[in-house]
Amino acid sequence: MTILLMYTATFVPYWTAFIEDTGIGYLILDIIIDVLFFIDILVNFISAYEINNKVLEVWLLYIIFKYLRTWFLLDVLAVFPLQALESVWEGG
């Protein structure tokens, strides 16, 4: 995830600012990275978390509700493919 975040933080702004025609290779790479971030969201739904000092919450329903109340919305917004909106902004 760290490598994906570093890629997103460095190469995506560069490509957005300086490269107009990215080609099919970049599109495929971008889709793969979006899928990996989506898989991370799914993993967060089943990952235990610490509730007290060294006490893990492992009950799935509590884990799901905690994730929905905390990071879920931000994670979904981060994974949303902005290239899908690009065609809408350009008119088709």
pLDDT tens for the chain, 92 residues: list them: 899 989 888 988 888 788 877 688 888 888 899 899 999 999 999 999 999 888 999 999 999 999 999 999 999 988 887 766 766 666 65
Question: What is the pTM (predicted TM-score) of this model?
Answer: 0.79
pLDDT of residue 92: 53
Among residues 75, 82, 89, 73, which one has the least CA distance to residue 15?
82
Residue 63 sits in which domain range?
2-89
Q: How long is the chain?
A: 92
If one counts the domains in the chain, the total is 1
